[in-house]
Amino acid sequence: MSKPKRPSFQVSRDAAPRVTSLVVHTAGLIFEIPAFRRAFDFSFLLTVFGSSLATTIATTLTKAFATNGTKRTNEGRFFSIREFISSIAAVRVRRFRLAKACSKTRLEGTEAWAECIKLWYEDKKRQEYPQSANTLAERLNSLRWCQRTLERAGIVEKVVLPKMPVNYHRHGGRKKSLVESGRRNELCEEIVSELRTVTEQYGTPFPSDAESFIRALADEMPPELLKSDEAFRSAIQRANAQKLGQIRSIAEKALLQSKTLFECGQSLVRSVPADLPEKINNAIQTFKRNRPEGLDVFFPPDNIAESTAALLAYSCEKTGGLIQEESRYTVYGVPEYMRRLYLRLGGKRQLTAMLGGDPTAVAATILIYLVDSGDNESVALALSPTCIEETDDSNKVRIRSYKARANWSPIVDTFEVEDETAAITVPQAIRLVIEMTNKFRANDPELADSLFIFRHFNDVSVAGEPFVRNRLRILLRDNGISGDGMHPGAIRESFLIDRTLMSDGSTRIAALLAGHSSDGRGVTRGYTERWPIKILYVAKIRTFQTLLDADLVFNGLGLEKALGTTKSAARALLAQAERTGNGLRCRDPMRGAGPTSKPDNDCEDAGAHCLQCSMRLVVVDAETIEDMLRTKATLELACPESEATNALRWQNEMLPQLAFATAALIKLRRSPHAALLRKVEQRLANE
């Protein structure tokens, strides 16, 4: 019996509403695909194409996304077309050539389009081949899919795309061996398992992104780090701090670029005569009668600076500081002229940045504040235009915000106005944003208390959490950095983790910086004992356990083997070994093994130096157990004051001794001498 044929389906016009129902048009050129729970912002098309053609392209591609491929596949296609269009917008000659070939509904001819594709591929190949050959191939294939989709819709002509070099696969990244992959997975699984246990102990939910964040960091670790558990975990600590620094650096760079554009724009506006905006307005209203010559007087094609100054001044005076959509000029018959004018002057996004309210500048300021303060994202968004308060120190200011979830309690941070280590500080960034957005607050009383205002073409909006998350993703992508596990909400955790690591595992410093509970056991403990910081604690315990396994000598048990000598010599050594007071004994305090000690003189370096000294001896008897218990109790009692008043001494001298005593006592509880430990504890408790 032959296999039945698969029925064929024909798409009719009646099926169109069913396809469009898969796509939701939210605003502007933003289209959402509910099945993917993902919105695609095609606003970048407006930097090259007119509004009508950009809308047609965005609609066509979004419908194709909804019916072809997975969410991840279509995100790759979207990123490829966006990267390609951005490369055109960045080069003036390419942008002008393509603009001449555009109509309202399609791209006429193939020469300009094919040349742009060829130049884009050559640029990418020069940058990424052969070290990232597979990535380049994926981008080219994604662009090829978009090209064919637009061909079938009749929007562009058929062109032949470049091909990858023969055997390009051999240049792909080094494949991880099964042993290496297995080792990475094993280490990651150990860390994740430990962290799940820790979060359960403290009654806090396990962070949903913790596992993916750790695995993403682990993939970046070189193979040689896999040999040591502690080295692997320490590398993850450093990678976490590096990610935090990357966000700050990228945001700083973006804000400085926006600042340059804004200052240039304001300078151009001030250079324009006061009556020029009114003259331009009259020329626009009489455009149908006088044709382009009437406007070319104000926007000379051969003088970019003069044209830009005139347009910016007109926008400030007549359109509320907004670069209007071309469609707003339809009534005067000017939309096509304005579209070409915008392209000639660098595009609407650049012109918008020159007037202020640039979304990138607003997002960058929020990110810089989050990184430098460690506050919640909601606290940053609650900042007002009057948040800066002067102090007695001219180089320091207080920045005040509020935390809604804490009954609107004030959150106050102190920042330096000038800092040699930063290209732009938090106070400077906030003052810049205030200056950029003052005109929007003046035009709309409802925005009077909002600091972070941005404008997306004709719309003026107040920044929210989705806006910050989206802009961070864009900034990371534009700088070629993976955004795995990096989102605004994680900056606070990374901040506290980073500051805690700087204080060698102490949560006290993080608590002071975060403005939380003074004993270090409030909200801060919940952050600092999450994934990365707990990795450090676990690694330290393991290090001490390894040390104790090698050096621990139980009184009277296997002395000759442990000390490498005869039993009588070992007993003599134990008899003359002196107590150091922190749970150790010294084989020979007159040897001069300490960093400041001299031979034949009594050692004066007792304390933290004993932990690394070659003369140390770990002996289990009632006296050393008593020393361990007293050391642990004394240091835990002194912890809050010492951390706050003498952090350096606490980190270098006291904390290592506390960690050693804790690890040794944990091991003793599981040893044959657990009964002796309980006996000493009972005796000390009765004192």
Percent of the chain at pLDDT exceeding 70: 71
Tens digit of each residue's pLDDT (9 = 90 or more) over 447-469: 888 888 887 656 678 888 888 88
Greater model confidence, 242 or 628: 628
Cα–Cα distances in angstroms (integers) from residue 539 to residues 392, 535, 670, in the given order: 44, 6, 19
How confident is the model over 591-608, as a mean pLDDT?
Answer: 76
Rounded Cα distance, 292 and 371, in Å: 50
Residue 390, φ and ψ in degrees, nearest 5: -75, 155
Looking at the DSSP assignment, which residues form a beta bridge with residue 403?
409
Rounded Cα distance, 429 and 477, in Å: 23
Cα–Cα distances in angstroms (integers) from residue 255 to residues 251, 362, 612, 642, in the given order: 6, 8, 48, 40
The overall average pLDDT reported for the chain is 75
- Where are the domains positioned within the chain? 16-162, 182-232+491-533, 271-355, 535-685
Look at residue 535 in the predicted model and tell me its pLDDT: 47
Q: Environment class of residue 115 by beta-carbon count within 10 Å: exposed (0-12), middle (13-18) or buried (19+)?
A: middle
How confident is the model over 156-161, as a mean pLDDT?
Answer: 88
Is residue 528 scored above 60 in pLDDT?
Answer: no
Rounded Cα distance, 125 and 117, in Å: 12
Q: How confident is the model at residue 287 (pLDDT cuts 50, 70, 90)?
A: low
Cα dihedral across residues 652, 657, 662, 668: positive or negative? positive
Rounded Cα distance, 496 and 529, in Å: 10
C-beta contacts of 228-235 below 8 A and 24+ residues apart: 229/187, 229/190, 229/539, 229/542, 230/539, 230/542, 230/543, 232/187, 233/191, 233/535, 233/536, 233/538, 233/539, 234/536, 234/539
Q: By the 8 A CB rule, do 373 and 426 touch?
A: yes
Tens digit of each residue's pLDDT (9 = 90 or more) over 488-497: 766 766 665 5
Is residue 61 scored above 90 in pLDDT?
Answer: yes
What is this structure's pTM?
Answer: 0.51
Q: By the 8 A CB rule, do 348 and 457 touch?
A: yes
Residue 323, φ and ψ in degrees, nearest 5: -85, 105
| Amino acid identity at 196 | R
Is residue 5 scored above 50 in pLDDT?
Answer: no
